[in-house]
Structures are given as C-alpha cells and as structure tokens.
Amino acid sequence: MKLRPPGLLLIGLLLGLTAGLFYTWEVNPVQYYDTSPPLLRRPYRADWIQLVAFAQSYEANLEHAKILLCDLPPEEIQTQLAVALDKAINDGRTLLVLQRLAGLAKEYGVDNLVVQIYTGNQTAELFATPRTATTLTVTPTPRPPTLTPAPTATLDPQQFSIVPTPTPPPSPYTITATTRSCLPTPRIAISLTHRLTITTHGKEELVTRGLPGVDLWLLWTEGADHAVTGLRPAQGLGYADFQVAPEQTYNLYLNQPTGVPLATLPIQPCQTEENAWTAWLLEVAYAPTEH
Amino acid sequence: MKSGYWLVIGLVAGLGLGLLVGWVLVPVQYYDTDPSALHPAYRDEYLHLVARTYAVDHQLNAAQTRLRRLEATTPSAPLCELTARLIATDAPTTTITPLAWLAHDLNAATPPMAPYLTGRQP
C-alpha cells in the first residue's frame, strides 16, 4: 500500500511529537533551580515551618515570619506550629520561647489550651485555682506576770490572752484513687478533676471535668520539678506527668511547694517485673472549701 | 515532491511541536523539591532559620542534617559563605551571631567571625 503525502505528513508529525515529548519530559526535562518553600517536599515543608517558628522564638519578627510562611497550606502551618510548641514544651524551653511560639501559632489560628496558656488568654483560669487563704490573726505573745514585792503576787488578767492554735484550712485537693503500676521508665502522673454544675435545658447536672492550669510541684532531696495540668489535652485537661528517677522518693505539692505534701511517692524496682519501676497515677479531686 | 520529504517535514514539525509542548506549554512540574533547589534568596533564609533554630534548641546533629540538604561540598560551606558575605556588608550583629556560633560549633569558624563569638548566644 502506498501512502499519500498527507498520510506521511501525519505519521511524521506523530513520530516527531512523540520523540519531542519523550525528550522534554523524560530525557531533558525543565530544571527548576529556583524553587520556593511551597514547592518543597512535604517533610521539608514541615521542617521549614518549624524552623520559621523556632527562628521566630529566637528573634521575634512576626511580619518576616509571615513572609516566610506565605503560600504554604494553612492547615500544614497550623499543624506544624502546634507540633513545634509541643516539642518546645517537652524539651523544657524557656518561657519566652514558648510565649513567642504560642504567639505565632495563635496568629495562624491555632487555638488550643497550650496556646491559650502561653499567650496569656488562660490567665484567669490559671489563677482561678483556689489558693489556700491563710489569714491568721497574730496575737501578742503572752508576757510573764508582773511580780510585785508584795507577799502575794497579783496577776493582771489583761496581760494574758489565750492564743488559739491556728489550724490550717483543709486542702481543697483530695486523692480519690492511686494506681501503682510497673513501667520501664518510672513516672508520676496526676489527673486532676473538679465537679461542676451545668445547666442543660433548664436542668442542673453535676459533671466531672479535668482541671487545667494548676501548678504541680515535685520535690525530692536534690531538686524540684514543676508541671502544669492540661498541657497535654489529648490525655485530659487535668493531666500532667513527670519523668522521675529510680530509687528516689518524691513529695507532690499542688499550687505551692510548701506545707504538707499531697503525697509522698517512692520509686522502687518492681517485684513482679524485671527492669521495671514504679509508675504512679494519682487521681485527685478538687473541691473548694466554702467559707 | 517525493513522498519521503513529507515524512521528514512531518517529523521535524512534530519534533518542534513536541519541544514546544514539553518545555514551554506543559513543562514538567516539580512539586516535591528539596532545599538544595531553593532560590538563592530562600537558601539564605534557610541558613538563617537553621542557625536561629540551633540558637534555641542547641541540637547540632539536627542543624547538620538540615545543612546537608543543601548538597554543598561540605555542610558548613554555605553557612560560612553567607556569614562572610554578611560580615563584608556590615550586616547587624544580631543577624550574624547565630550563624557564626553555628559555624563555630561545626568547627568551621573563620577569623572574621571571632568578634561575633564573644559570649555565648542566648
């Protein structure tokens, strides 16, 4: 069969087009040397966002951070800023770093409890936690009776006063359950709850909720550690935990590291498992005393 | 005109069309690039970000890993080049200090960086 010129032209065109596309798409494609962050591979984009966050925490410059995050997917920015803040908390970064990270996260619409705490929006709730009111009236120290040269000593009743023994107000925190388990890494965890009366459709109902923003202190012979409930919302709003060292005894305090500890918790090797240590989970209820 | 010419004309025209489509009209789109492909301005920003992050987290291995992504001859080479450029242009000390400290901790500090290495960074 002999092909006519238009048929040959068409075959030539198709062959040429195929060859041209193969060359430009496979053999020698366009090279992009000058890309921008939005074109980065997903893990690199995530790293870029976290780098911007940490750099912002080093030197606060919100406008510059916004330029560097421009055109990146908003949901990725939110996720990575929250991750960066969480990481910074776990790594024990300074308050200033955490505040700047939270500020940037808030700017991008992250609105979780951690952000609220470090941007100051949760202050009211933080300090709404009752602190023990210890207003004690100090009475004058009794002076010894004045002795007169008279054969009988006279006692001036005005110079004596009976000093009432100040009894500390009962703690609003009560341990409701203590769970002792064995873990390879010893830990002390606290779940703090309080009871609230809520009104739903005109009906009052008593519910138990986690209590965030309460200071927890762990003191031992060589040091102290501090945590705040609610920084891991996934574990519960009233949850906080401490990594602790084996063969050590810890005193747990709430609000202030003074007075009688709420609990004294020894970390000992487990009898039932090898290479395992005591892990404590304390369930604590908050019930303010009414005056 | 011989019929073979039509085939050649078709091939040349098709090839030209293919090149036009492949390079200009529908070029290969790269969405998954790595930091080595960043525009020079973004590469500089990347170096600033790595250095400032290091100033906060002090994780040298992480900083090294990030610098390696620029695929330079040595991880610290782009860092030193940028620091030298900023020193030469009298950039603010606060801009240079984290870069100089990272270069120092990577054992890549140069004598001009010395004035920026007084006192540990925050």
- The tokens of B56 are what? 């906060």
pLDDT at A33: 62
Residue A249 has pLDDT above 70, yes or no: yes
For chain B, say whether A30 makes contact (Cβ under 8 Å): yes
Alpha-carbon distance A99 to A291, whole Å? 37
For chain B, say whether A14 makes contact (Cβ under 8 Å): yes
B40/A34 touch (CB, cutoff 8 Å), yes or no: yes
- Chain B contact probe: residue of A4, A39, A95 with most B CBs at under 10 A: A39
CB contacts, 8 Å: B62 with chain A = none
For chain B, say whether A173 makes contact (Cβ under 8 Å): no
What confidence tens digit (pLDDT) does each residue in B101-111 have? 999 999 999 99
pLDDT at A146: 43
For chain B, say whether A96 makes contact (Cβ under 8 Å): no
Of B23, B56, B66, the CB nearest to A93: B56
Residue A126 has pLDDT above 80, yes or no: no
A44/B16 touch (CB, cutoff 8 Å), yes or no: no
CB contacts, 8 Å: A71 with chain B = none
Residue A232 has pLDDT above 80, yes or no: no
Mark A169-179 as b/e (b = at least 16 C-beta within 10 Å): eeebbeeeeee
For chain B, say whether A128 makes contact (Cβ under 8 Å): no
Say what the pTM is.
0.52
Nearest of A262, A105, A269 to residue A185 by alpha carbon = A269
A20/B16 touch (CB, cutoff 8 Å), yes or no: yes
> CA of A2 to nearest chain B CA: how many angstroms apart?
10
Residue A134 has pLDDT above 60, yes or no: no
CB contacts, 8 Å: A70 with chain B = none
Of A12, A24, A44, the CB nearest to B7: A12
For chain B, say whether A270 makes contact (Cβ under 8 Å): no
Residue B84 has pLDDT above 70, yes or no: yes
A16/B18 touch (CB, cutoff 8 Å), yes or no: yes
Q: Indicate the range of B34-43, B44-53, B58-67 predicted with least confidence.
A: B34-43
Three-state helix/strand/coil letters over chain B: CCHHHHHHHHHHHHHHHHHHHHHHHCCCCCCCECHHHECHHHHHHHHHHHHHHHHHHCCHHHHHHHHHCCCCCCCCHHHHHHHHHHHHCCCCHHHHHHHHHHHHHCCCCCHHHHHHHCCCCC
What confidence tens digit (pLDDT) does each residue in A4-52 have? 778 888 888 898 888 888 887 788 776 666 788 998 989 999 999 999 9
CB A229 within 8 A of CB A254: no
Of B4, B8, B33, the CB nearest to A32: B33
> CA of A13 to nearest chain B CA: how many angstroms apart?
4
